[in-house]
Chains A and B, each alone.
Chain A
């Protein structure tokens, strides 16, 4: 039996439902900028509700920097303070490059839930779904950069390039990471599960970050390995970032970073969008 209050509740709900459904007018299709903003807002709200996801841009950088400075400092450069001047720009590049993969993981999670399908049935400019999220990731990357540089300064890092050099260096990292993220969104759309994506990204990022000029001067390496280190995008970025931080950046170094970034976007952004639109 339904008692009278229950009945009354039912009736009011139905009237309100009727009203809510029938009284709508169709707003104009949102512009690319405004749908991008909505997706960026979503990513920001997710940070608020799931603050654990900020560990990778706060704790990771701190642990990495402390660990590698004190582990290798004495052995490689004779003192940790000397090594820090060389290591910090490189390890900053490595850390931020590694956390770009979370973009792919987030997308992969969306796909396995229905929200991905929902977005795809909306009359919006579809790339905004990814660009909005990537823009917030850029905020995360800058946070990681500032934390790491702050800690570095406390440990004795002294960038000769000054504030402007450091900011330019961060700018380079952000451009590169935004571009690199498109590889992970592509893989996030192809790979079946979060686990396999994690594994795949370690498989790619471990050799790329370690077999580079991040930790050691490559002139001590065998020549065939030097060849790889030279064309490794991580080395290219690390060289430019070092250059800016120590005030020795050249036009050529910057151009290479921009070319590599552009290549990433040119190849993987359209690929991502193709897969996004045509998934299954």
Chain B
């Protein structure tokens, strides 16, 4: 798959401004601005309850925003719902098919609802089942499908007519790695044929793997937006990890690093492990030199670009496993 998928187009699939959704006193979505270019994958990254699903539901015409405006392919969300609905598709978080019906019956139903006649509906349904590797399960009730098959038929149902914009709400939640990879392949193939995808995920790796651009959302607000490299860069050049041989050297090492690097040092559950977000890589060498001079034995060190996990923790302040010293 070509990593650089940006297209020569200025068309926006989604332009949203100041979206707000309030449930009682809780501002589930609190002023979300969003622009998504056609033909790209956009990742919505955030923890449970961050407002990801609520935002998607508004953009998919399922729920009216309490404030703000949005255009989907230039159509106004508030007044042109029907036009929008004919170009989008939604695969929700939960089984979005009739579980008592077979896979084939479900897809024939969806094809019928998209306007296919009986015969074409059946042809189309069979073609999709084959494409998603579900031929053998065609005549089984969906409730007897495995998690991965379930997800695939859910997505297949959204592609009965290939949408211009596909919303995928946590497409790989609860899937084993193999099924997850299959779903990723489907998404990549889909984007290669020109569909814009907006997906939500709690998995940073997923956003990193699939999304051209990522919005980190927390408590109803977008707290960072950009490509995965931009987000990583925004948190500092990288993470220095130092592994000590003896845990008793920890205090001294922290002092040394703090003085040299001028940033906070994080300690985790492992007493011999120290990490720090570094802005200037050139002083890392000096800091390590100081450690060597003090005859502190280290078994390992590394300087890496921050993972999205670290980005996320830095941005949201949910530093659950680490404490600032």
Taking beta carbons and an 8 Å cutoff, which residues of A are in contact with B? Answer: 9, 13-14, 16-22, 24, 26-30, 34-35, 37-38, 41-42, 45-46, 49-50, 113-115, 117-124, 278-280
**CB closest chain-A residue, reference B92:** A114
| B147 within 8 A of partner (CB) | no
**Other-chain contact of A27, B61, B130, B161 (Cβ < 8 Å):** B161
Q: Supply 9 further A-B pairs (C-beta < 8 A) apart from A21-B162, A114-B94, A121-B62.
A: A21-B131, A30-B115, A49-B100, A114-B92, A114-B96, A114-B97, A122-B113, A122-B114, A124-B113
Q: With A and B bound together, what is the CA distance between A21 and B190 in angstroms? A: 7
Are A115 and B98 also in contact (CB < 8 A) when A14-B185, A121-B85, A123-B85 are? yes
Q: With A and B bound together, what is the CA distance between A126 and B192 in angstroms? A: 32
Complex interface: chain B residues within 8 A of A35 (CB): 112-113
Complex interface: chain A residues within 8 A of B190 (CB): 21
| B180 within 8 A of partner (CB) | no
**CB closest chain-A residue, reference B160:** A24
Complex interface: chain A residues within 8 A of B216 (CB): none
Are A45 and B95 also in contact (CB < 8 A) when A14-B189, A17-B186 are? no
Check B62–A120 contact: CB distance below 8 A: yes
Check B112–A34 contact: CB distance below 8 A: yes
| B133 within 8 A of partner (CB) | yes
| B193 within 8 A of partner (CB) | yes
Check B90–A22 contact: CB distance below 8 A: no
Check A121–B132 contact: CB distance below 8 A: no
Check A121–B61 contact: CB distance below 8 A: yes
Complex interface: chain A residues within 8 A of B95 (CB): 113-115
Check A121–B90 contact: CB distance below 8 A: yes
Within 8 A of A (CB), among B96-133: 96-102, 105, 109, 112-116, 120, 124, 127-128, 130-133
Complex interface: chain B residues within 8 A of A17 (CB): 131-132, 185-186, 189
| B57 within 8 A of partner (CB) | yes
Check A27–B114 contact: CB distance below 8 A: yes
Check B157–A24 contact: CB distance below 8 A: no
**Can you list 6 contacts pairing A with B, beta carbon distance less than 8 Å?**
A13-B133, A17-B131, A17-B185, A20-B131, A114-B97, A118-B158
**CB closest chain-A residue, reference B93:** A114
Within 8 A of A (CB), among B187-202: 189-190, 192-193, 195
Within 8 A of A (CB), among B53-94: 57, 60-64, 82, 85-86, 88-90, 92-94
**CB closest chain-B residue, reference A122:** B113
